[in-house]
Structure 1
C-alpha cells in the first residue's frame, strides 16, 4: 500500500471519491525526465534564505490523527538522501495520534551536522473529542514559536508561560513560516464537525499571522483506483495530485518528481512570507515579530 498526497493552495470541500479520469492532464509533469528531477533537486540544494536572520524555514504539519504527517517528512527525507528514510515514526493503521511530542526534523545535507535550510515540525494529531489530541491553542503557540522541541502535548491543558518548554523569546527560525494541513482521503468525507472546527480555527489563526498555507491529501490511492494502478494518472484525476513514499524499499523517479515539486512550492511560499516580514507592521518594532 502506498501513501499518496496532494497539494493545494488553499482548501477545498471534496464530497465524493473519484473513479473517473479526465482526458488530459490538468498539470503537465515530465514523467521519467531525469533532467527535470535534477533541476528540482538542484533548486532545493541551492536554496538559501534571503533573510540573514533566518537559520531555516520552519514548516509546521498539522491535521487529524493518522493522516500521514510523519510519512510526508520521511518522504522528503528519502528523496533528498537518495534512499529510504524513516526517522519520523509513523503509524499507518491507528486513528489515534502516534506523535505525542513537538518534534523538529532537519534533513542532513552532505556531511554530519550540515542541514538543508528548512525544517519540518511534527505535532500530535487533532481528534474530534475535546479532551483528545493536540489543542488548537498549542498549535497557535507553536506557530508563534513559543513551543520548544520535546514538549509533550497534553490534551487536557495548554502550554503556559511558566512551563519549561515555553519559549519566551522566540527567534525568527522558531516561528512557523509555512503551515501545511495534512488530511487522509480515506477519512475526509467522514471528518467530524468538531475536527473540522479545530482545523478551521487553526487556519484562521494562521491567516491572522499572515502565514501561507497548503493542504496535503494523503492516501489518495485508496480514494482513486486509477491512481493506485498507475501513479501517472494522478494529474488526470479530478482532484488527486501527488504520491508519497510509505512501503517502498527504493526511491522511484515518478514519486521523486512529485515530492520535489511539492517541496519547491513549500520553499517558495516560505521564502515569500519571510521576505514580506520586512514590510509588515509589528507590535514591538521587531521585524521578525508577528502575533495573533
Structure 2
C-alpha cells in the first residue's frame, strides 16, 4: 500500500527515537553541538517512520548522521534511500520561517524534507519537500513558503528510479546491478584498467552486464561508464562510455552500435563494432542536472540506460 499527502503530516516520536538522539548528543563536545545532533537525529527518525508507512526502503545505518565521526564534524541529517540517494531531513524550529542548508548538504542530495518541531518534542510535522534539482549549489536557506507538498517526494523518488545518478557515484552511492569496473568479467581487462585509471582528475568507473541477442546467439556485453570531475570548469563532468565483450569472448559482435541521446531523445554521437573489435567507446561532457541516454542496439534488439549528472 502507498500513501501520499498534500498537507503536513504529524509523526509521533517514540522513546527509542529519543534514546538514540540522547546517546548521539551526549557524545558531542559542546551543548550547542549536542542540541543540533539531538534534533537532527529526531528529524531523520521521523522521516524514516513516514517512509516505512509508504513502503519506501531506507538504510539509516548507512547515513552520515549515524556515523559518530561524521555527525561530530558536520551538521547532517541525511537518510539513505538504497539505489536512489540521500534525503536531507532539515529541522525547522518553533517560530522559524526558513531552514538552513549547511554547505555539506548542498550536494549529493535528492532533496530536502522540512521537519517542524514544537516545544514538545514528542511529535513533529513533516511540512513538505524541495527537490535538490531546484536548489542552487550555494543557497544557504529555504523558506518554508517555498516548499512543495509531500506528494512531490514520491514523484522525485519515481524520477530517480528511472535514472542512474552519476554524481552520486562520487559519494559511494551505486544503483542495483552497477559494479566497480575491477569486479566485472571483462575479457580485455588490461584495456579496461588502462582506460579507467588514465586520468589525473577525480574519476570513478562502474559497469553492468548487458545481454544482447537471443537464444544461442545471446552474448554478454559489459557497459562501462567512467565519470571524471572537471572542477576547474564549473563542475562539468567528462563521460566515457565503453562496451566490452565478457566471459572470455574475444570480440564484440560485429554491427553492435552504441549511441548517445540527449534528454529530448535526439541522437548525437555513435560508434559501431567492426569485425575483431574488442571494445568501442564514446566520450563527451555534461553539465550538472543534464540527462542523457545510452542506446545499444544489435539487429532488432534495442537496450537503453538513462543517466543524469
TM-score, length-normalised on structure 1? 0.29
Larger RCO, structures 1/2 (Cα 8 Å, 6+ apart): 1
